[in-house]
Amino acid sequence: MFSTKPWCRLSCNRVEQHPHLRQRGFSLLEMAIVLVVIGLLLGGALVPLSVQMEKQDRDETRRLLIDMQEAVLGYALVNGRLPCPDTDGDGQMDISTSCSNVTGQFPWVDLGLGKDDAWGRPFTYRVSANFADTTDGTGCAASPTAGLSFSLCSLADITVLDGAGGNLVASTIPAIIVSHGKNWATSSSNDEAENSDADGVLVDRVYSNSAAPTFDDLVVWVVPNILKSKMLSAGLIVGNNGNNGNNGNNGNNGNNGNNGNN
Ligand SMILES: [Ca+2]
Ligand SMILES: [Ca+2]
Ligand SMILES: [Ca+2]
């Protein structure tokens, strides 16, 4: 028995014989509800995904910063001074005798790494001039070791705070490297502005992308006593002779280093 409808003889015939097979489409209301539910599910999944991606980027950048910190120490062991920043964007440090431009980008060509962070942006690098110039034992040693830019008594001039105008985290730091994070350097955050104003005061504090002032920068620095300890271990700085002042490895009282003349 065939359907009387010529335009759908086969399929209509089957439905007419088996009414329970008759199909009905979704109403507009049902479709709207389904779309809303899918949207909610997708929205719920996408927020954690972006958070997860930022965490991966931060972890990657943090690992790179640790390697860069190690590379700076290695550079000091080989060259007797810290690298001077790159100030013209070619990845090579810009230095004459002195390291007069102490803030710039990390010299990624000379150091062999550290061109960009995980967000494709350059790192900010600041160094203490006394630790990066080509003058032996700048500032304190009476008879500095030839070829060494700094001595045990040399003082660095970088300070790290826990917020703009906040408490000290570290002082007399020879060099510091900053990734400005996913948001780069927001003008609305005093704490982030402190890391991009090219002076010797920088901020390292807990991450926050919601509560003001926001802060997503990643910061590592060269610890003065680790630097000097490595130089001592390598025999590059001699701890107890007058050449390097009389202050042992206490970098923080280096003001007395001038007494080495006496
Ligand atoms: Ca350069
Ligand atoms: Ca930032
Ligand atoms: Ca600053």
Q: How far apart are the CA of 104 and the centre of ligand 1, in A? A: 9
β-bridge pairing 218-222 and 124-127: unpaired
Highest mean pLDDT among 28-37, 117-126, 132-141: 117-126
pLDDT of residue 7: 54
Q: Which pTM was predicted?
A: 0.76
The rounded mean pLDDT for the chain is 84
Q: What is the pLDDT of residues 44-95, one digit of tens each?
A: 666 788 899 999 999 999 999 999 999 999 999 999 999 999 999 999 999 9
Ligand located closest to 95 CA: 1
Confidence of residue 19 (pLDDT cuts 50, 70, 90): low
The answer to whether 85 touches 141, Cβ cutoff 8 Å, is no
Q: How far apart are the CA of 132 and the centre of ligand 1, in A? A: 15
pLDDT of 241 over the 50 cut? no
Q: Report the largest interatomic distance among the alpha carbons of the chain, rounded to a whole angstrom.
A: 122
Q: How far apart are the CA of 242 and the centre of ligand 3, in A? A: 35
Q: List, in sequence order, every residue forming a beta bridge with 105; answer none if it has no partner.
A: 86, 124
Q: How far apart are the CA of 51 and the centre of ligand 3, in A? A: 28
**Six token digits for residue 244:** 């390097």
The whole-angstrom separation of Cα 197 and Cα 76 is 26
3-state secondary structure of 168: strand
Q: How far apart are the CA of 93 and the centre of ligand 3, in A? A: 21
**Six token digits for residue 125:** 């690098």
Q: Residue 33 is inside which H or E element, if any?
A: helix 28-79
Q: How far apart are the CA of 198 and the centre of ligand 3, in A? A: 6
The answer to whether 158 touches 126, Cβ cutoff 8 Å, is yes
Amino acid at 15: V
Terminal alpha carbon distance of the chain: 122
Ligand located closest to 87 CA: 1
In the sheet with 158-161, reading across from the earlier edge strand, the strands are 168-173, 158-161, 201-203
Q: What is the pLDDT of residues 244-254, one digit of tens each?
A: 333 333 333 33
Ligand located closest to 83 CA: 1
The whole-angstrom separation of Cα 187 and Cα 12 is 69
Ligand located closest to 201 CA: 3
The whole-angstrom separation of Cα 240 and Cα 252 is 17
Q: How far apart are the CA of 189 and the centre of ligand 2, in A? A: 9
Q: How far apart are the CA of 224 and the centre of ligand 1, in A? A: 25
Q: Is 37 exposed, middle or buried (0-12, 13-18, 19+ CB in 10 A)?
A: exposed
Q: How far apart are the CA of 47 and the centre of ligand 2, in A? A: 20
Ligand located closest to 208 CA: 2
Q: What is the pLDDT of residues 158-199, one digit of tens each?
A: 999 999 999 999 999 999 999 999 998 877 899 999 999 999
3-state secondary structure of 215: strand
Ligand located closest to 90 CA: 1
Distance of CA 131 to the CA centre of its chain: 21
The whole-angstrom separation of Cα 183 and Cα 189 is 11
